[in-house]
Amino acid sequence: MRLIERGSGYPRIAVIGGIHGDEPAGERIVERLSETVTVESGTLQLIVANEPALAAETRYTDADLNRTFPGDVTANDYETALAPRISAVLEGADAILALHTSHSAPPPFAIYSNCTETVRKSITGMPVDYVVDSSNLRGSTLDSTHPNTISLETGKQGSDEAVEFGLDAARDFLGVHGILGERNPAYTETTVVTAEEEVPKGDGEPEVFYRNFEEIPAGEIFARDDEYTHRVTTAGKVPVLASEHGYDDIFGLYGRITGSIEPPA
């Protein structure tokens, strides 16, 4: 783990990238922020999380870091022992942004587990049209174990566009929380998609027929392989993180559009 700090005092705002080693955009965004950002007020913490996995260009070395929080400092698995070290650095942070990329199609979107007022500010002050409520899913992710945390899927894994979008969005995030004096946030309403369940993937050649947040008509097939054919039986389902090759064991998630988050008053 590499920590870069700028400024002093409060608020203390954190941006973390490189949670997964096959998602180098987060590391690039963190490094460019460290080179270009002037902190006007408070403390900025910039973290590159999983350096061995980044060096190996693999998602993780022993265990998926974003499935191991809060972790165990005595564990033999590298990521399971790393998680509490990251948590110790982030403890007490006023707002946290975790950077990710994926194999799924645009648009970029945010994810939260608990919509605090700080999270509301973060989401509506960033250039995303959708945010996924993941509170029904795993409780072992960074955003599910640290208050006032959002994750941001910045775009297609390995693309320059994901880096540029993520850099711009991260600057908006810092502006929202008063770190950048020259950045005035433009708040907008954001559509909420509530994630409901993972869609399992088996053996054979995978196929996915709908993009993120595209409603799947009842009776239509969302995805299939030699083991599974996922036909939607009720209206209103939309895919989240949908891709053929993004995950070993799932095609993505099913979700539903359940409302919106309004900007702070």
Burial per residue of 123-142, b for 16 or more beta-carbon CB atoms within 10 angstroms, e otherwise: bbbbebebbbbbeebeebbb
pLDDT exceeds 90 at position 155: yes
pLDDT of residue 45: 99
In a shared domain, residues 38 and 159: yes
User: Does residue 236 lie in a domain region?
Assistant: yes
In a shared domain, residues 159 and 209: no
Q: What CATH number did the domain enclosing 143 receive?
A: 3.40.630.10
In a shared domain, residues 103 and 216: no
Cα gap 256→239, rounded to integer Å: 8
In a shared domain, residues 84 and 139: yes
User: Does residue 186 lie in a domain region?
Assistant: no
What are 168-196's pLDDT values in tens digits? Answer: 999 999 999 999 877 778 899 999 999 99
The pTM of the full predicted model, rounded to 2 decimals, is 0.96
Work out the mean pLDDT of the chain and round it to a whole number. 96
In a shared domain, residues 115 and 77: yes
With H, G, I as helix, E, B as strand and everything else as coil, classify residue 4.
strand
What are 93-124's pLDDT values in tens digits? Answer: 999 999 999 999 889 999 999 999 999 999 99
Which residue has 């359940």 as its token pair?
258
User: Does residue 36 lie in a domain region?
Assistant: yes
**What region, left, alpha or beta, does residue 14 occupy, with left being phi > 0 and alpha being psi -120 to 50 degrees?**
beta
pLDDT of residue 105: 80
Cα gap 9→179, rounded to integer Å: 11
Residue 260 contacts residue 192 (beta carbons within 8 Å): yes
In a shared domain, residues 123 and 72: yes
User: Does residue 167 lie in a domain region?
Assistant: yes
With H, G, I as helix, E, B as strand and everything else as coil, classify residue 66.
helix
User: Does residue 185 lie in a domain region?
Assistant: no
In a shared domain, residues 170 and 207: no
In a shared domain, residues 143 and 238: no
What are 9-21's pLDDT values in tens digits? Answer: 999 999 999 999 9
Q: Where residue 265 falls among pLDDT bands split at 50, 70, 90?
A: confident
| Residues sharing a CB contact under 8 Å with residue 88, sequence separation 6 or more, in sequence order | none
User: Does residue 182 lie in a domain region?
Assistant: no
pLDDT of residue 106: 83
Cα gap 142→19, rounded to integer Å: 9
In a shared domain, residues 13 and 81: yes
**What region, left, alpha or beta, does residue 139 occupy, with left being phi > 0 and alpha being psi -120 to 50 degrees?**
alpha
Structural domains in the chain (count): 2
**233 is in which domain, residue-wise?**
197-253
What residue type is 222 in one-letter code? F
